[in-house]
Amino acid sequence: MAEETFRIQMDGSQSVTATRVRPDGEPAGWTFIYAPGAGSNIHDPFGRKLSAQFAAKGIEVIRFQFPYAEAKRRLPDRTPVLEATWTAAISQSRRPDTKLAVGGRSMGGRIASQVVAGGEEVDALILFAYPLHPPDQPGNLRTKHLPDIAAPTLFISGTQDEFGTPDELATAIALVRGARLHRLEGANHGFGPVKGIGRAKEDIEEEALGAAMEFLQ
C-alpha cells in the first residue's frame, strides 16, 4: 500500500494535511474521500484500516483532517470552516476519469452530507455512525439538510448507537431519496460491541467496511 502525504489548500494561506493511498493492482475507477470524527484526526485507526482495505480492492482513498485538528485543538471548528475544508478537499480531488465518493465517521460524515446537500456533486456518499442527535438529546435532530441530498447514500450505524436508535435513523433516512441503511448488530457509536453481544470490534469494523465496498462496487 503506497501512501503519500500532501496539503489541501483552503482560502488564503490556510491548508490541512491529507494522505492519498493509491490502489493496489487494477484501479476500480473510484476515489473515496474520508474525514474522521470530532475526537480524531488524520491518524484515525478506522480511516487507516479503510484505506488499506479499499486500496486492496482498487479504490483510491484520500483522508484529511480539519483545521482544529491541524492546530492540535480539541474543540471543532465552526460549521462554515468545516464545510469549507470539505469543499476544498472535493474540489482538489476531482478527476474526469474517476468516480468520486465522499464520507466519514460521525462528524466527518455529517459535514460531508451537508456539503453534498448544499450542491457539491459526487457519485456516492457513505456515512459511518451518522450522529443523528447528541446523546440524550433526541429532539436535537440533524436532519434539516437530508432531503436535499441527491447522491446515492449509504448509512452504516450500530443498533446500540447512542447518537440515534435504529428507529430514529430509519425515520431520518427516509428523508434521503433512495438511501440505504446497514445496521451493525450490537455496535455502539464507536463500532465497539455492547456487553454480552459476543462480537469483537474488529469483526464489526470488517462488516462496516465490507458493506461500504459492496455499495461502491
Mean pLDDT taken over the chain: 95
How far apart, in whole angstroms, are the C-alpha atoms of residue 166 and residue 178?
17
Residues 75-111 pLDDT 10s: 999 999 999 999 999 999 999 999 999 999 999 999 9
How far apart, in whole angstroms, are the C-alpha atoms of residue 188 and residue 101?
25
Global confidence as pTM: 0.96
**Per-residue DSSP letter, 163:** T
Q: Which has the closest alpha carbon to 173: 113, 119, 89, 213?
A: 113
Q: Can you give the pLDDT at residue 1?
A: 67
Q: Which has the closest alpha carbon to 134: 142, 122, 124?
A: 142
Work out the burial of residue 186: count CB atoms within 10 Å of its CB; fewer than 13 is exposed, 13-18 middle, 19 or more buried.
middle
More confident residue, 198 or 135: 135
> Contact at 8 Å (CB) between 154 and 212?
yes
Query: Binning pLDDT at 50, 70 and 90, where does residue 147 land?
Result: very high
- Domains of the chain from N-terminus onward: 3-216 (3.40.50.1820)
62 forms beta bridges with: 20, 33
Kindly list the distances between the CA atom of residue 7 and the CA atoms of 25, 41, 89, 137, in Å, as whole numbers in the listed order. 25, 14, 10, 37
